[in-house]
Structure 1
Amino acid sequence: MEKKGERLTYSFIRELAASYSTPLYIYDLETVQRQIDKIRSKMHPSIKLFYSMKANPNPTLVQRIYQTGVNIELCSLLELAAAQTAGVAAERMMYLGPGKSAEEIRTIMDQGVRYFVAESLQELELIEQIAQEKRKTVPIGVRINPEVAVRGARLQMGGKARQFGIDEGQFPDVLRKLQVLPHLRLCGIHTYHGTRILSANTIAENIRYILSFAERIIEMYGVKLNFVGIGGGFGIPYFAGEKELDLDELGQASYGTVEQFLQKQPETEILMESGRYLVAEAGAYVAQVRYTKRSQGVHFAVTDGGTHHHAAAGGSGNAFRKNFPIVAYVPEQRAEQEYELAGPLCTPNDLIGKKVRLPELHPGDYIAVLKSGAYGLTASPALFLSHRLPREVLLERGKVTLIRDVDEYIIPKLRKESNTD
């Protein structure tokens, strides 16, 4: 959700705060749809797009994304329950994760999740044991940890020692293992190089690498792959100096690679997931200023929101502390001043913005951390100091719907479109 007069204005924020109180997460469904459309219009049309629920697992938001035809990637039984609450069909789910329990594996089998991805040789043995108990033959995918590390990923998921997947060089061990596991059938491979990638060339190279690897194992070992997961990692620019991912360039750079692979392997699906890119731009975290003060020459604005709701804004996950885009909503034009934006927690680390230049703030004014639709509440220590949750609302076709209340810590109720403006 950008800083723009058409959506977030002082009067609109004040109305939302009056109805739902602050702190408050706001998600704009139009922005989510725009991001989905951008990927679909630029990437090869045969690619099956998955939404990574870890970015924002709110069932109402997941439902709306699913209803556009996007599939769902999940990594826990509660995410599975939230997806089912949202009406997601098992045939459109992908389940992965490095530490699956026996309970998870049994549930995945019982629910018939279509894309089931294993991440270690020992996990394959446990899946075999459970499949044997159930007298089932289980189609299984294997996550591959690539040998080559990605340059340009803000967080590398492969290419080095990682808990994720099985090393590329150990793939022959996978095939040998599967020969003695009669209840498992290899049906796909999956990889994920990294996240927050803003270079179109880097993502295109990742796609080339994994499809080339898939071709090699098909030719060398005669395996049939129903699917190849090429990951995603699409980033958005949060900080000064970062440029937007060029999807035109990415589409042009990857189209031929995908097309050539499909000409040779027309029955193999190509899967790609994205979480952050679909929802991050759509979100804003709004807090109200409670107090302003000056300490040893530094101006502070103490708000009712903080890092317990938005750890990423406080620097979690970044090697160096940088500010998210932050704007203020005040009733009149004022001169700017530099602020430390603090929350209500009893720790000096509860700062959602450092040295932020904003209009002079007074108690009762509002600030908003933009680009907060992904890894906001879901990646934050919400139980720290035992404050209530922020509410979440969805802007949808000019209407506002409450999609999480202050006491819904696990799976909020699925909401239909509200008539509240």
Structure 2
Amino acid sequence: MPPSDDITEDETGFFLYDLDSLKQHLSLLMQQDVIKLWFAVKANPLSRVIQTLGQQGFNFDVASQGELSQVLAQDIAADRILNTGPAKSKSQMKGFLRQGVRTFVVESLNQLQWLNQAANELSCRPQVLLRVQLQWQEGEKNPLGGNEVTAFGLSCDEWQTIKVADFSALNINGLHIFQWGNMLSNARMFELWSQMVTPLLTLAENLGMNLEVLDLGGGLGVDYLQTEQGLSWPTIINDLAIIKARAGVSELWLELGRYAVAEMGYYVTSVVDRKQNFQQQQLVLAGGINHLLRPAITEQPFPVAMLRESTATPCYFDLHGPLCTSLDKLGTLALADDVGVGDQLVFGLSGAYGFTESMPFFLCHQVAAEYVLQQGKIEQVRAVAPASWYLR
């Protein structure tokens, strides 16, 4: 997406979110009655993004006090908020209860006991989903652990040491399971969802739970590598209708992150230097993992294009950022061979896990600005900031 006169030219990097396209995308996601949709705020907590999601009927999954405060500040009612996250103390959960949150995903025996105590003390009865971690014979690398043992939830064996009736202050009526991230195959997702049903139903029966809600988390992927693979939303809905019927639950939940907001976002930065090194073409950029960390974590670069038009033959370049570490690499990607110093590059699918998943403080570079495009007009939501705003 080309820059506008409203965007400061000397910024080292900035994000632009197309809220008009986001609104259209969300509207399509909401045109079904199979699942209840939550937005994983970690994907993009910008105020205007939350407002757009809220207006389209999404609920909100928050995993910290900061995320909760940000969502409440956008006039989202507390009864539309779900508290997730592996590090919930009694004081945090009690604080959430005081602020009106009544739905929790509990991830440990301690959390269950603490929430029960807090609910008794505040004379309320929150809804609780127990987070379950399963294992499969086949393993594969995955950002959420996949088949690895992680801090997210407990095994069925561990949960079976409790009885739902022992926690009278809680309405324990659901199970939560989410272990796979950025999945691009409808068939694979349906296979995983299907494998979850039997052990979860068995667990609910052993706990004496009236299983009303099943939360399958997120994990719906976007095609960062531009392989022309992608998920079909109608197929997802059809598959989940089958899962819902098999599980016999009244509500099926999904917590969408990147699938909800990735496509509406762009990150723009400029080329500072070009050179050839050991026969490899390299571009050094004004912004790197200080603004877009995800490629260094997942080895999946954001797709990139040059803003100006060019008819030059494409060539593969290593794209490096400004940080003094070899980790600062945004990928090896094809660009027109005439790309040079001063050219602006735009990275797509940057609406999720961009600004707030970056590492902006290393080397004291500028913190990226954020803009929104709404009703055809570009507006600055956060100005570029020098390191002096946080250095003491």
The alignment's TM-score, normalised by the length of structure 1, stands at 0.82
- Supply the AA of the counterpart residue of 2:233: L
Q: Counterparts of 2:14 and 2:132 in 1: how far apart (Å)? A: 39
Match of 1:229 in 2: 215
Match of 1:270 in 2: 252
CA RMSD in angstroms comes to: 2.8
Q: Offset of 1:50 from its aligned partner? A: 0.6
Q: Residues 341-391 of structure 1, C-alpha deviation per residue, up to 9 Å, x if partnerless?
A: 232222333222335332412332211111111111221111111212111
Gaps of 5+ in 2: 388-392
Match of 2:118 in 1: 130
Q: Contact 1:138–1:184 at 8 Å: present in 2 too?
A: yes
Q: Contact 1:157–1:192 at 8 Å: present in 2 too?
A: no
Q: Secondary structure of 1:82's match?
A: helix
Q: Counterparts of 1:277 and 1:46 in 2: how far apart (Å)? A: 17
Match of 1:350 in 2: 328
When residues 196 and 242 of structure 1 are mapped into structure 2, their CA distance, relative to the original with a 3 A threshold, is: farther
Q: Offset of 1:166 from its aligned partner? A: 1.6
Out of 317, 326, 349, the residue aligned to residue 297 of structure 2 is 317
Match of 2:390 in 1: none
Q: Secondary structure of 1:195's match?
A: coil
- State whether structure 2 residue 218 is matched by structure 1 residue 207: no
Match of 1:302 in 2: 284
- State whether structure 2 residue 33 is matched by structure 1 residue 55: no
1:27-66 correspondence runs (5 A): 27-41=17-31, 45-66=33-54
Gaps of 5+ in 1: 1-7, 410-421
Match of 1:377 in 2: 355
Q: Contact 1:147–1:160 at 8 Å: present in 2 too?
A: yes
When residues 322 and 47 of structure 1 are mapped into structure 2, their CA distance, relative to the original with a 3 A threshold, is: closer
When residues 382 and 279 of structure 1 are mapped into structure 2, their CA distance, relative to the original with a 3 A threshold, is: same
- Matched residue pairs, number? 387
Q: Counterparts of 1:212 and 1:327 in 2: how far apart (Å)? A: 46
1:54-203 correspondence runs (5 A): 54-148=42-136, 154-157=142-145, 159-175=147-163, 178-203=164-189
When residues 180 and 258 of structure 1 are mapped into structure 2, their CA distance, relative to the original with a 3 A threshold, is: closer
Match of 1:366 in 2: 344
Q: Residues 41-98 of structure 1, C-alpha deviation per residue, up to 9 Å, x if partnerless?
A: 4xx5131001111111112111111110011111011000111112221111111111
Q: Counterparts of 2:271 and 2:148 in 1: how far apart (Å)? A: 44
Q: Counterparts of 2:35 and 2:211 in 1: how far apart (Å)? A: 15
Q: Counterparts of 1:147 and 1:294 in 2: how far apart (Å)? A: 46
When residues 296 and 201 of structure 1 are mapped into structure 2, their CA distance, relative to the original with a 3 A threshold, is: closer
Identity %: 27
Q: Secondary structure of 1:356's match?
A: strand
The alignment's TM-score, normalised by the length of structure 2, stands at 0.88
Q: Counterparts of 1:112 and 1:306 in 2: how far apart (Å)? A: 39
Q: Contact 1:304–1:344 at 8 Å: present in 2 too?
A: yes
